């Protein structure tokens, strides 16, 4: 779902629709399902019970979004479809596996920097962050860290890559970068073409954009705050290594 491939996401969603029955919403009477939402009063729970008592059509909505091609005529339609996804997540009753699906799907729509789908996808992500920050914010900061690592290496800059991979005086962070040659493969891959590199940079921009409006959730959690500051320190260490 998070891949930079519309055909892959669309095929996956169509297979899910064809092979599996939709999951049901979590029970509105399960108070733990509402802990992280804005639902407070009993009348609000009654309203939610009325709208979220049958099967969850999340996969169908995502398929509708993805199957509608981006154009000036369909932009508003796609935005409204993603808004429905966001509202469903806000209820707190969407099954966890669908929440994970929405997160990956939203990331997959962030590859194009100025696409009409970016803002609706960011809003869906932000709702997931508010709903379950311990899971989705931690995952998002880790993703931001990994994508940031790749986009710091310019395409065709073999000398910088060689310096990063062969230096004997690397910091702890730098030594982790070459563990099992995984990052070496990533560097080689992201240097294939200028266009590939631009897409990674755009993804990094959009991932950061999705995180910005909910930074207060990061500062309120000691572990997330440490993860965020640690990521910034690693980023600056690599900038210093590359620039000097």
**Does residue 59 register a pLDDT over 50?**
yes
Q: Half-sphere exposure of residue 132, counting CA atoms within 13 Å on the CB side?
A: 18
- Residue pair 145/107 in contact (Cβ under 8 Å)? The answer is no
**Does residue 209 register a pLDDT over 80?**
yes
Q: Where are the domains of the chain?
A: 1-131, 133-244
Q: How far apart are the C-alpha atoms of 233 and 143, rounded to whole Å? A: 16
Give the pLDDT mean for 236-241.
69
Chain segment 60-78, per-residue pLDDT in tens:
999 999 998 877 788 889 9
Q: How far apart are the C-alpha atoms of 146 and 143, rounded to whole Å? A: 5
**Does residue 31 register a pLDDT over 50?**
no
User: What is the pLDDT at residue 168?
Assistant: 41
- Angle at 225 (CA atoms; ends 86, 37), nearest 5 degrees: 30
Q: How far apart are the C-alpha atoms of 242 and 244, rounded to whole Å? A: 6
Chain segment 170-208, per-residue pLDDT in tens:
444 444 444 444 444 444 444 444 556 667 778 888 999
Per-residue confidence at 155, pLDDT binned at 50, 70, 90?
low
pTM attached to this predicted model: 0.76
Chain segment 86-122, per-residue pLDDT in tens:
999 988 889 999 999 999 999 999 987 667 889 999 9
**Does residue 235 register a pLDDT over 80?**
no
Nearest to 193 by CA among 165, 155, 138: 155
The two tokens of residue 146 are 């990994």
Q: What percent of the chain has pLDDT over 70?
A: 68
Q: What percent of the chain has pLDDT over 90?
A: 38
């Amino acid at each position: 779902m998070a891949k930079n491939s519309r055909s892959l996401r669309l095929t996956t969603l169509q297979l899910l629709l064809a092979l599996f029955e939709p999951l049901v919403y979590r029970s509105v009477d399960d108070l733990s399902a509402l802990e992280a939402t804005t639902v407070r009063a009993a009348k609000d729970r009654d309203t939610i019970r009325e709208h979220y008592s049958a099967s969850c059509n999340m996969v169908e909505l995502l398929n509708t979004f993805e199957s509608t091609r981006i154009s000036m005529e369909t932009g508003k339609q796609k935005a409204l479809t993603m808004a429905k996804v966001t509202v469903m997540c806000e209820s707190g009753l969407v099954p966890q596996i669908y929440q994970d699906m929405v997160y990956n799907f939203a990331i997959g729509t962030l590859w194009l920097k100025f696409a009409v789908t970016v803002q609706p996808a960011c809003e869906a992500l932000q709702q997931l962050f508010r709903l379950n920050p311990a899971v989705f914010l931690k995952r998002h900061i880790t993703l931001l860290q990994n994508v940031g690592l790749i986009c710091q290496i310019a395409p065709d800059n073999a000398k910088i890559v060689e310096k990063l991979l062969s230096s004997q005086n690397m910091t702890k962070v730098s030594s982790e970068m070459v563990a099992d040659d995984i990052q070496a493969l990533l560097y080689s891959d992201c240097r294939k073409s200028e266009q590939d590199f631009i897409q990674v940079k755009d993804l990094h921009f959009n991932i950061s954009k999705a995180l910005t409006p909910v930074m207060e959730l990061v500062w309120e959690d000691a572990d997330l705050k440490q993860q965020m500051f640690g990521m910034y320190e690693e980023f600056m260490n690599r900038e210093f290594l590359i620039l000097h």
